[in-house]
Amino acid sequence: MEIDKERIQTQEETGEKAAIDQVEDRVEAEMKKLEGKAKQQVADGLQDEQLAREGERLQKEGERELEEAKDQ
């Protein structure tokens, strides 16, 4: 059985992301979400409103990126 090189399409040609890239996006989003949660908990202990807001922002951004990664 011979491979017809004219019919082969690469991921680059189809615009499809490699599986490792898809996982990497989800992992980064999950890490951002966890970092935000950790900052928020530290801020609660220190009673630092600015840090709490940053933690909340990171958590929401991570959740949004995670949803986008799942949709791809």
In a domain, 4, yes or no: no
Band (66; pLDDT cuts 50, 70, 90): confident
Handedness of CA 54, 60, 66, 72 (dihedral sign): negative
In a domain, 1, yes or no: no
Asked whether the predicted pLDDT for residue 1 surpasses 70, the reply is: no
Query: Which residue segment(s) compose the domain that 22 sits in?
Result: 17-71
Average confidence score pLDDT of the chain: 86
In a domain, 11, yes or no: no
Q: Which whole number is the average pLDDT over 19-29?
A: 85
Cα(32)–Cα(34) distance, integer angstroms: 5
Domain count, the chain: 1
In a domain, 10, yes or no: no
Band (38; pLDDT cuts 50, 70, 90): very high
